Structure 1
Amino acid sequence: MEKIEHRAVIKFLTKQGKSAQIIFQELLAVYGDSAPGKTMVYKWHGLFKQGRESIEDDPRSGRPIEATTSEIVEKVEKLVLEDTRWKKKQLAAMIGVSETSILNILHDHLGMTKVSARWVPRMLTPLQKRERVECSRQFLELCGERKEEIMARIVTGDESWVHHYEPESSKSRCSGIKKAHLLQRSTK
């Protein structure tokens, strides 16, 4: 909003016939460190002097700035949970957003990282979180009227999850096939 405010002041002072240098000095005196730079003041002063009326940025072509809507996040989540081997390029083509947006969704919104050609959640997946909430609701329903009594008897603790995942590499897979082939030849 500050940017628009500065432009409005520049426009007003330009229409009063003040020079770009004087406008810059006045903005600096009033706004201090948050004043626009000298180049910006001269640019907008020139534009307003040439007859520009709008203080808004001109519309730009290209993709919209924000492509990560909740619908797109849900689509990406559904696809990745169905098959963790999708590549970002494939996901981007299917959804119709940039690869950068796909990475942003996977990392920041879904909390996933790529581990050996699979998207693996860094923490609990949204599906696991939903399952925990559902289990908790069912437990509370089972408690019925004795919730406080039962809750007082529960021992809780901090939990740490350690995931161990050793994917079979293509080299080891090939060497295993070669060993099996050699064993077959030696037994004949």
Structure 2
Amino acid sequence: MEKVECRSFLKHMSPAEIRQDMVTTLGEDAPSSVRVKRWVAEFKRGRKSVADEPKSGKPRTLATDENVDLVLDMIMDDWRISTRVIAALAGISQDRADHILRNELEMSKVSAR
């Protein structure tokens, strides 16, 4: 069940009563007691909407198809390029460059010593 639907269950009852009502209605999909208490506290402080509030900043994942293709092209042009240089040229963090190399392109560093 979606968070918005779960938050709609909040009524003028105690958190324990709300949690029990959710357990009987939703079963295993019911949120935890701590989460229900947090929601009740937010509504008591004046929150009116059950929808999530917008978040600021960049999205966590920058492994878009364009970035993956760009990184792959860089690797194919120069196979000795470092993740630091890839990150600088692609305009992404070094962690994201490493994530694209390891998880998206399934590449790893191989040593020939």
Tell me what 2:109 maps to: 114
Equivalent of 2:48, from 18, 41, 53?
Answer: 53
> Is 1:7 equivalent to 2:2 in the alignment?
no
Structure 1 CA distance for aligned equivalents of residues 96 and 50 of structure 2? 30
Structure 1 CA distance for aligned equivalents of residues 85 and 9 of structure 2? 48
- Which fold has the larger relative contact order, with Cα–Cα distance below 8 Å and residues 6 or more apart in sequence? 2
Structure 2 CA distance for aligned equivalents of residues 101 and 30 of structure 1? 41
**Would you say how many aligned residue pairs link Structure 1 and Structure 2?**
113
| Larger proportion of helix | 1
Aligned-partner residue type, residue 86 of structure 1: I
Aligned-partner residue type, residue 106 of structure 1: L
Tell me what 2:64 maps to: 69
Tell me what 1:79 maps to: 74
SS in 1 for 2:70: helix
Q: Which runs of 5+ in 1 are unaligned?
A: 117-165, 168-188
TM-score with structure 1 setting the length: 0.54
Closer/same/farther in 2, CA of residues 104 and 55 from structure 1, 3 Å limit: same
| Aligned-pair Cα RMSD in Å | 1.8
Equivalent of 1:42, from 27, 37, 53?
Answer: 37
Tell me what 1:29 maps to: 24
Structure 1 CA distance for aligned equivalents of residues 4 and 95 of structure 2? 29
Structure 2 CA distance for aligned equivalents of residues 59 and 98 of structure 1? 23
Structure 2 CA distance for aligned equivalents of residues 54 and 101 of structure 1? 34
Please state how far the C-alpha of 1:35 moved relative to its aligned partner: 0.7
Q: What is the percent sequence identity of the aligned residues?
A: 35
Please state how far the C-alpha of 1:38 moved relative to its aligned partner: 0.6
Tell me what 2:85 maps to: 90
| Larger proportion of strand | 1
Structure 2 CA distance for aligned equivalents of residues 56 and 86 of structure 1? 44
Please state how far the C-alpha of 1:114 moved relative to its aligned partner: 1.0
Closer/same/farther in 2, CA of residues 98 and 54 from structure 1, 3 Å limit: farther
